[in-house]
């Protein structure tokens, strides 16, 4: 759990965090989660989150004049679901400042463990949802994504099918992002239109629940109506959902006039924290690589996701998750450069951009984007598959593969290369100048490193400021002071031309590999 405080000039005043494993060891989690013995079910204890809120605010009141906080917003990990029982509203509206949240709300849930984004136990449900809608592309056209294990609708379907008593005892279903403001306001708050896009249940273009998607979970009209009531009405992203409950005013010193703005999903909040505008791309380089961007056109694809943009109602947020990121880069480095990045960098300089026509594809695990099974696939300049590359060719090939894949699939979900502006990179590999330079050349635009590490938390603070104080003004104009970034790479015109010619060749080979997967 992280918290950021900004002032009216968008300067960061304070930051604090709660480490679930270290500070709340009584819940016996590993990095805040419980991995179940079946190897696919992953949950988090709801009461741990409640206790973390109290621990965070205890730290908060010692560092900041809490009474001066005008508004609060934030985000939650996407896809996680919380199941409130029929007594939840009573407990929420009667929080006592002498008891902590976990104690006061101990009997408010139909299920004490929340399925979270790491869960992959819903294969049957994903198949059922896609079949009921007429195929994965039909589902993507409605909900912004094909069915994914972690998406909330599939998790809810699993509860309906396999935990009937839990579902029947559930009066309200929250996402993590609506669970937190529900606690802060002392009443159940609806799911925001941004994060609802990570459920496979909302019509993304209309911003309302899709009757077709709901019907795949609850088969009769009566059951659909019950499910829709449990989910509640979708809340626009910019909604002031209430004010801080008396519990937080009395226990921590918040003003009773402090407004709570609808929370959203963590990835959507990062888009706000980076102030990404149309033409910008953000790339997080980590264990898995994530790319997100603002797009004007609604162009659904099987491998990506489209959400309603939480800070720009005229655009959508597109997102791509590449499963094979830093571990794959590290593996190739270990093989060709004896685990040394300096030696790896030297190897890259021994080959030109375009790698003399050699192209490789590297997947330690079955890839999501594109849908290709694990393995290494190498092609020479004639398009012929080969078993190996020389060390220098291999070093460049793995980076060119990952950079070209990002551009190719960004264009597949609506990125317009002719309207390009900037790339922001974050994550451990953002300091690798060869990667950032290659991204600049492949996308033909400047690359910046964002100085603020917690873009998701910052996005919540910026949205709170905008919605509470500057609602009638453009979010990007009034949030510009929050951007702290430095230019790290600019495109080389000769390399740009090479990669422009290389991209369709790369795309053709990728299709060839994907087709082979189905044989």
pLDDT in tens, 261-272: 999 999 999 999
Strand partners of residue 283: 291, 425
| Structure confidence at residue 519 as a pLDDT band (50, 70, 90) | very low
CA distance 151 to 196: 10
Mean pLDDT of 253-258: 98
Reading across the β-sheet that carries 289-295, which strands appear in turn?
A: 305-308, 316-322, 289-295, 281-285, 422-426, 446-450, 485-489
Residue 452's pLDDT band (boundaries 50, 70, 90)? confident
Flag whether pLDDT at 349 surpasses 90: yes
Percentage of the chain modeled with pLDDT above 90: 91
User: What is residue 450's predicted lDDT score, i.e. its pLDDT?
Assistant: 84
Reported as a pLDDT band with limits 50, 70 and 90, residue 341 is very high
Burial 370-385 (b: 16+ CB within 10 A, else e): bebeeebbbbeeeeee
**pLDDT reported for residue 517:** 55
Q: Where in the chain is the domain with CATH 3.30.420.40?
A: 2-262, 270-519
Lowest mean pLDDT among 70-74, 243-247, 312-316: 312-316
Which pLDDT does position 219 carry in this prediction?
A: 84
Orientation angle between helical segments 326-337 and 391-412, nearest 10 degrees: 160
The number of beta carbons lying within 10 Å of the beta carbon of residue 272 is 31
Average pLDDT over residues 305-327: 95
Q: What is the pLDDT of residue 290?
A: 94
Q: Per residue in 350-386, pLDDT tens?
A: 999 999 999 999 999 989 899 899 999 999 999 999 9
What H or E segment, with its residue span, contains residue 28? none
Sheet containing 71-72, strands listed edge to edge, beginning at the edge strand earlier in sequence: 71-72, 259-261, 240-243
User: In this structure, are strands 42-45 and 359-363 parallel, antiparallel, or unpaired?
Assistant: unpaired
Rounded to the nearest integer, the mean pLDDT of the chain is 96
Q: Residue 484 pLDDT more than 90? A: no
- What is the percent of the chain with per-residue pLDDT over 70, rounded to a whole number? 99
* Residue-wise DSSP of 267-323: HHHHHHHTT--TT-EEEEESSSEEEEEEESS----TT-EEEE-SS-TTSEEEEEEES
Alpha-carbon distance of 442 to 407, in angstroms, equals 7
Whether 168 has a pLDDT exceeding 70, the answer reads: yes
The residue count for the chain: 519
259: pLDDT confidence band, cut at 50, 70 and 90?
Answer: very high
Q: Using alpha carbons only, how large is the chain's radius of gyration in Å? A: 23
Cβ neighbours of residue 229 under 8 Å, at least 6 residues apart? Answer: none
Whether the pLDDT of residue 518 is over 90: the answer is no
Paired tokens of 3 = 């918290």
Looking only at Cα atoms, what is the longest distance across the chain?
73
Q: How many CB atoms lie within 10 A of CB 308?
A: 27
Q: Is the pLDDT of residue 114 over 80?
A: yes
| Domain 270-519, classified CATH 3.40.50.2300, yes or no | no
Residue 299's nearest CA partner among 315, 286, 275 is: 315
pLDDT at 308 over 60: yes
Residues contacting 218, CB < 8 A, separation 6+? 160, 224, 226, 227
Residue 424 phi, psi dihedral angles, 5° rounding: -110, 130
Mean per-residue pLDDT for 331-339?
98
Report DSSP state, residue 210. -
Whether the predicted pLDDT of 111 surpasses 70:
yes
| Superfamily, domain 2-262 | ATPase, nucleotide binding domain (3.30.420.40)
Q: What is the distance between the alpha carbons of residues 347 and 335, in angstroms, rounded to a whole number?
A: 12
């Amino acid at each position: 759990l992280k918290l950021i405080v900004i002032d009216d000039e968008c300067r960061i005043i304070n930051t604090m965090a709660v480490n679930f494993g270290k500070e709340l060891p009584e819940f016996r989690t590993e990095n805040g989660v419980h991995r179940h013995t079946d190897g696919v079910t992953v949950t988090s204890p709801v009461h741990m989150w409640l206790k973390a809120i109290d621990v965070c605010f205890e730290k908060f009141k010692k560092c900041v004049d809490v009474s001066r906080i005008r508004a609060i917003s934030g985000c939650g990990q996407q896809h996680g679901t919380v199941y409130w029982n029929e007594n939840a509203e009573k407990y929420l509206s009667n929080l006592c400042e002498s008891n902590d949240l976990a104690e006061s709300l101990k009997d408010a849930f139909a299920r004490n463990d929340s399925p979270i984004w790491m869960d992959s136990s819903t294969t049957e449900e994903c198949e059922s949802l896609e079949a009921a809608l007429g195929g994965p592309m039909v589902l993507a056209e409605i909900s912004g994504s094909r069915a994914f294990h972690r998406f909330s609708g599939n998790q809810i379907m699993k509860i309906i099918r396999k935990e009937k008593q839990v579902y029947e005892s559930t009066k309200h279903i929250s996402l993590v992002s609506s669970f937190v403001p529900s606690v802060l306001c002392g009443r159940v708050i609806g799911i925001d239109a941004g994060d609802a896009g990570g459920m496979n249940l909302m019509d993304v273009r209309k911003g309302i629940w899709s009757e077709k998607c709901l019907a795949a979970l609850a088969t009769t009209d009566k059951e659909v109506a019950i499910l829709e009531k449990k989910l509640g009405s979708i809340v626009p992203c910019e909604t002031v959902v209430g004010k801080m409950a008396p519990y937080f005013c009395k226990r921590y010193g918040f003003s009773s006039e402090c407004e709570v703005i609808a929370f959203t999903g963590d990835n959507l909040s990062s888009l706000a924290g980076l102030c990404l505008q149309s033409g910008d791309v953000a790339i997080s380089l980590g264990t898995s690589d994530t790319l997100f961007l603002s797009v004007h056109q609604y162009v659904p694809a099987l491998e990506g996701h489209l959400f309603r943009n939480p800070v720009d109602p005229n655009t959508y947020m597109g997102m791509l998750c590449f499963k094979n990121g830093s571990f794959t880069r590290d593996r190739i480095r270990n093989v060709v450069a004896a685990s040394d990045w300096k030696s790896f960098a030297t190897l890259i300089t021994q080959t030109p951009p375009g790698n003399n026509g050699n192209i490789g594809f590297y997947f330690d695990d079955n890839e999501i984007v594109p849908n290709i099974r694990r393995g290494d696939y190498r092609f020479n300049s004639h398009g012929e598959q080969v078993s190996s590359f020389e060390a220098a060719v291999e070093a460049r090939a793995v980076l060119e593969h990952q950079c070209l894949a990002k551009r190719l699939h960004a264009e597949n979900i609506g990125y317009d290369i002719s309207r390009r502006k900037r790339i922001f990179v974050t994550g451990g590999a953002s300091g690798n100048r060869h990667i950032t330079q290659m991204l600049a050349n492949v996308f033909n635009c400047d690359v910046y490193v964002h100085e603020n590490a917690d873009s998701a938390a910052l996005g919540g603070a910026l949205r709170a400021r905008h919605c509470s104080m500057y609602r009638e003004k453009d979010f990007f104009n009034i949030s510009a002071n929050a951007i702290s970034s430095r230019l790290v790479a600019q495109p080389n015109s000769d390399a740009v031309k090479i990669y422009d010619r290389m991209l369709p060749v790369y795309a053709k080979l990728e299709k060839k590999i994907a087709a082979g997967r189905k044989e």
